[in-house]
Structure 1
Amino acid sequence: ALDERRPPLMLSPEWRENDDTHRAARRLEESDFPALPAKVGIAVDAGPTPLLGDAAADFRIERDDTGALLVRCEGRAMGTRVESAEAAADLVVKLCRWFMESGGGQARRMGRHRAPLPAWARQDAAPTAPCQALALGAHPLGAVVGLSLGRVEAASLRALVTPFEDCRLRVTPWRRLLVTGADAGRLPALFGVITEPGDPRLSMDACPGAPFCEQASVDTRAMAARLARHQASSLHVSGCAKGCARSRPAAVCLTGRGGRFDVLINDRADGEPAARGLTEPDVLDYLEKLGALHL
């Protein structure tokens, strides 16, 4: 089914009042979109330092290596150079209409849509390489904190902003918050809020798991908590083989199956397990013997 709502916008967390990212987003909010598949989204990443290149989106407003604004479709290496933030937003809307008129409703995502781009969407510039996710700690706009598994209790959020008179929370795609107006040196210690860059929880991904998802047969959060004191370059705990929390391979991946765990090494949740049907204690023993986890 198609979603009648306006497609979601993902803005660079470093946007500032009336910059190109802000202006393009405001134009998009005022635009008339066609009905689009529910997961189609737009990334607006027009700051001097692009950040959202690795975040999932179907249409992107970004910059090329000369600093010019660029509109690019997901799955295409090149994009269309434009003169202004407003022109970029208008071109995105036009591309959304073309997407639906050319069969995108069946493909459902731009990255899977194989129709050739129209002649007016010339591919004349490549995007500049994105920078890494925001580092924890002090930031020119305030402070950056991490969220354990991307979740946080409302009480912790309230306590996080209480010490500061004028601050706002900006959500990012990396399970981190940019707290504008905050002082990194005055951040309180709170449950589920990460302030240390070396915290192992920053490299962990886990879906809600059982009983919150009917597809899951294991408690992913309990397993993630047991592994939180260990170090791994990346760790993914998935309630089933769909791997909703992480589509990329992880150094260690645990996939729920029939109430137990399959273990995959340097693979995705739907890959070929190195070990099958392990209980929680079995998983820990197996990974420690394998040398895949470190204290």
Structure 2
Amino acid sequence: MLAAMPTPPEPPGRERGDACPGALRLHAADDGALARVRLPGGLLTDRQASALADAADDLGDTRLDLTSRGNVQLRGLADGCGAALGARLREAGLLPSDRHDRIRNVAASPLSGLDGKGFSDILPWVRELDRLLCASDDLTDLSGRFLFGLDDGRGDITALVPDVTLIATGDGRQALLCFGPGPDALRVAAQDAPRAAVLAAREFLAVLCESGGKAWRVRELAPGLRPSTERLAARLAAAGIGSAPVPRAALPLGSPPAPGAVQGPGGRWAVSVAAPLGRFSSAQWRLLARTAGQDGDGELRVTPWRGVVVPGLTAPVAAARLAALADAGLVTSAASPWHGAGACTGRPGCVKSLADVRADATASLEAARPGSAGTLPVYWSGCERRCGHPGGRWVDVLATGDGYRIAVRREAEDETVTAPAVTTVTTAADLADAVTAARDARPDAHPDTHPTETTSPDGPRD
């Protein structure tokens, strides 16, 4: 019999329920309603991408924002358009289950199976996990912020610290399964991995039920109250899934895909691009959809780093399309100052913002010298909530109402530490130089600079 668990302290900011938006539950922003369309693994077809562009043009503000989970947001939606949007998404296959809409948060290695790296192609895991989620009515109790991570062994998704993580291992026939930041894991057969991830989510919900807690994510629980691999192993065994404990597992830690051409086996190539500050115009988005449909294999992969990968190209076509995408204003090189740069919505879209941070970030990045991307990501925030900011070590450009405060910050789970050196900038002329200098800061002993979801309890962004 499982022992009762002590009641944990209430996580901060849980005075009300999870207000995370979805495709059907819209968020009321200052610039209109906002819808978040979940794309498990970031996967969508060129036809589905075109349907999103149509929705942005017909119902929204003609733009598409990417989130730090590889999802797409539509902004500026008119009151009363929810039914029309839902119908469009269902017809395109982007809303397979109304009830499970907000829990389909699945991040996956975007280059899996494309570049010859990683230990196995995990796209079958993505599709099977999504099918299982939509078939599990009990999992609708998960928060809209709970994240499944599927890593092909290169460590890019592991760096996001998902709530439940599957990691392909060297032989391709097994996977590591762990909760949140670990450190303990279970080894399971690869064919059982998606089902094991669902059972891990059920174990998280069981812990919440027993404790009376209201946490939305694993890392919000105190370490001693987090789900244990011992209990999970028993749950797996009861479901006919064998597992082996891996205490203090050494998890891989890798880098996200850089913008540019990606060479794969068999003479196949992909192009990797990013949107300036994570926002595409519908015209830029349509260009990507046409590239996928006419020159690729009809697939696009939205990344958790606010980029898109289009696979299935030949070398000459990849080079030509990359040039065309650069001409369209997309980020196609890691040397660009726009690489690794992000910003919250800011004014006028968010009433809590103290500045038009996207305009100020744009002016700063346009003034930066070529090749000044630096080693750290940078994020402009309009207020102390810092919605959508990166995790790990990053440059924080925070609006104060009298300029911007710039600091190199490091986040470890729920604790954020500000480096001693803080620069306050009040003029646009100084902003670009101060940001560039901060991005060139020497990495510390744990250079985890991969963006992950961090937001205030009522923040609208991933």
**TM-score category, normalised to shorter length:** 0.7 to 0.9
User: Which residue matches 1:196?
Assistant: 333
> What is the rounded CA distance, in whole Å, between the counterparts of 2:410 and 2:160 in structure 1?
20
2:175 corresponds to which residue? 69
Aligned residues: 290
Residue in structure 1 matching 2:164, options 49, 56, 59: 59
- Show the counterpart of 2:23: none
State the Cα deviation string for residues 86-145 of structure 1 (Å, max 9, x = none): 442342343243243234752222112131535332582225414321233124362211
For normalisation by structure 1, the TM-score amounts to: 0.82
Question: 2:240 maps to what in 1?
Answer: none
Long gaps (5+) in structure 1: none
Instruction: Determine whether 1:214 maps to 2:351.
Output: yes
Q: Which residue of 1 aligns with 2:5?
A: none
Going from structure 1 to structure 2, the CA distance change for 1:39 and 1:265 (only over 3 Å counts) comes to: closer
CA separation in 2, counterparts of 1:12 and 1:62? Answer: 10
1:253 alignment counterpart = 396
Q: Distance in 2 between matches of 1:57 and 1:104?
A: 22
Structure 2 counterparts to residues 1-295 of structure 1, below 5 A: 1-2=17-18, 5=100, 7=103, 8-13=105-110, 14=112, 19-32=124-137, 33-45=139-151, 47=152, 49-64=154-169, 67=172, 68-83=174-189, 84-103=192-211, 105-114=213-222, 115-118=225-228, 119-122=230-233, 124-125=245-246, 126=249, 128-136=251-259, 137-140=261-264, 142-163=270-291, 164-165=293-294, 166-182=297-313, 183-187=317-321, 188=324, 189-228=326-365, 229-230=368-369, 231=372, 232-234=374-376, 235-244=378-387, 245-250=389-394, 252-265=395-408, 271=418, 274-276=422-424, 278-284=426-432, 287=434, 292=438
Q: Is the 8 A contact 1:144 1:176 kept in 2?
A: yes
The runs of 4+ residues in structure 1 deviating greater than 6 Å are 267-270
Task: Assess if the C-alpha contact under 8 Å between 2:343 and 2:361 holds in 1.
Answer: yes
Secondary structure at 2:334 match in 1 = coil
How far has the Cα of 1:151 moved from its partner? Answer: 1.2
- Retained in 1: the 8 A contact 2:200–2:232? no
Describe the shift of the 1:176–1:81 C-alpha distance in structure 2 as closer, same or farther (beyond 3 A): same
Q: Higher relative contact order at CA 8 Å, sep ≥6: structure 1 or structure 2?
A: 2
Change (3 A) 1:227 1:138: same
- Residues 163-209 of structure 1 deviation map (CA, whole Å, 9 limit, x = unaligned): 45243221111122111224421211343411122111113222121
More displaced stretch, 186-195 vs 214-223 = 186-195
After TM superposition, the structure 1 stretch with the greater mean CA deviation from structure 2, 237-246 or 209-218, is 237-246
More deviation, 73-82/103-112: 103-112
Distance 1:95 1:240 in 2: 36
> 1 CA distance for matches of 2:430 and 2:257?
36
RMSD: 3.2
Matched-pair contact (CA < 8 Å) for 1:24–1:88: no
The answer to which structure has the higher helix fraction is 2
Tell me by how many angstroms 1:29 deviates.
3.4
Contact 1:156 1:190 in 2 (8 A): no
Alignment-mate amino acid for residue 180 of structure 1:
P
Is the contact between residue 147 and residue 163 of structure 2 (CA under 8 Å) also seen in structure 1? yes
Q: Which amino acid in the other structure matches residue 186 of structure 1?
A: A
Alpha-carbon distance change, 256 to 150 in structure 1, aligned in 2, over 3 angstroms: same
Preserved CA contact (<8 Å) 1:206 1:238: yes
Contact 2:425 2:431 in 1 (8 A): no
- Distance between the aligned counterparts of 2:336 and 2:425, measured in 1? 29
CA distance 1:190–1:152, shift in 2 (3 Å)? farther
Q: Deviations over 1:67-98 (max 9, x none)?
A: 52122110321212222234423423432432
**Residue of structure 1 equivalent to 2:447:** none
Alpha-carbon distance in 1 for matches of 2:262, 2:334: 12
Residue segments in structure 2 that go unaligned for 5+ positions in a row: 1-16, 20-98, 114-120, 234-243, 441-462
Q: Secondary structure at the match of 1:179?
A: strand
- 1:293/1:270 Cα in 2 relative to 1: closer, same or farther (>3 Å)? closer
Q: SS at 2:178's partner residue?
A: strand
Cα pair 1:238 1:256 within 8 Å, conserved = yes
